[in-house]
Amino acid sequence: MGRAQAKALGCPDLPIAVVPHPFGCHSRDNVREIAEQCVQDIAKLVCVAVAPVAAASTASGKRARKVEVAEDADAINRLFRERRWTDGFPVVPPTAERVERMLRCTPRAADEVVAAIAPGFGVATVERIAINAVMAGCDAECLPVLVAAVEAVAAPEFNLQGIQTTTNPAAVWLIVNGPIVKRLNLNAGINCLGQGNWANATLGRALRLILQNIGRALPGAMDRATLGQPGKYSFCCAENEAQSPWEPLHVERELRPEQSAVTVVGAEGTLNMNTHSKDPDEVLRVFAETLTRPSGNDYFLGGDPWIILCPEHAQILKAGGLSKAEVKRRLWAQSRMPARRMTAIDMQLTQLRRRVDLGAISPETLLPICPAPERLGIIVSGGPGTHSIYVPSFGNTRSVTREVIWSA
């Protein structure tokens, strides 16, 4: 990963001290020997003259260059596979005409730089975002959502560098709010995280292509996920604002109801929570017990966990007199987990990682899933049925919301 990142940043010959990974099979004495060898390697490398660093090929806001190919879908997709420009599925050829048609849906200039995308820090111009959106099959009006999503993932608190390069099965989940949901016909109801809706599927896929092609997080190179997850192909839904008894996410985050927004979440995956109880206390109890995972990053790091409440569960909680804030407070309190449930080494790591916010941690310390109740994310989505979803987070990440601005 280090060599791939150095190459992407224009310094392929950067001296690197290699530390063998993983450490799990080594004794403490072996680890000490490895560390001592690494110190020696670094000491030698800092004395080596390094060639001047060349500018990275994507470090500018220049317009994309054209590639001439035959008008044959199989040949085009073969070329894209060879150059690793795809996610494994066929792509829509990003012709100049298709890209220009998409660019007309944003007031921003084609060569405007939106962000640099970790870990390769390729420059995401509006045009390059549009190219990947065309490849994913997006309708032209999806471009403003993707521009806002790129701005959001590049925010420092989101920690895209960590999410893109981790061995964890982390994916970026898009949550869309506001009037643009209806404009794009996004699915917030039945099967909103599944297949069947064009906007949901292509928006999530387009962001993945952007992360891969501009951020250069290629699987096996800088994307080092041990297993990955299907959400890395596409992970996008809208909030079901019409059936939510509370204010929607973007209003909770201080935007007006008439504004549109996209929120990015560093998600580990999804876990179904099914209960037929109509008692709000029982619902909260079983949900809180579901959250307590001694192997979860949220408890290791004090993370950014989310719950997708189905409309039926949300209405049960609302009928019990609970606001969204009160649901968060109760889930946060009831999901505290004794540190002794962790393995010995994981508890030691947690003692190091969370001592700033929790102080000394003993086996009987009750670990909160995140630093404060307000950090537990809740949206209402989905259709009829008693199925809500827990979305554990990468841990070392914070969700980010950005307004979506489109051309009139």
Residue among 178, 123, 224 at smallest CA distance from 406: 178
Average of per-residue pLDDT across 11-26: 82
Q: Is 79 exposed, middle or buried (0-12, 13-18, 19+ CB in 10 A)?
A: middle
DSSP 50: -
Q: Which residues contact 28 (CB under 8 A, 6 or more apart)?
A: none
**pLDDT (tens digit, 9 = 90+) per residue, 49-90?**
776 665 544 446 788 888 888 888 899 999 999 999 999 999
Higher pLDDT pick, 408 / 201: 201
pLDDT of residue 249: 98
**pLDDT (tens digit, 9 = 90+) per residue, 154-205?**
999 999 999 999 999 999 999 999 999 999 999 999 999 999 999 999 999 9
Question: How far apart are the C-alpha atoms of 299 and 17, rounded to whole Å?
Answer: 32
Q: Which residues contact 135 (CB under 8 A, 6 or more apart)?
A: 80, 85, 86, 91, 92, 93, 94, 206, 209
- Residues listed for the chain: 408
pLDDT of residue 408: 57
Give the global pTM.
Answer: 0.93
Q: How far is CA 312 from the centre of its chain?
A: 27
The SS3 of residue 339 is: helix
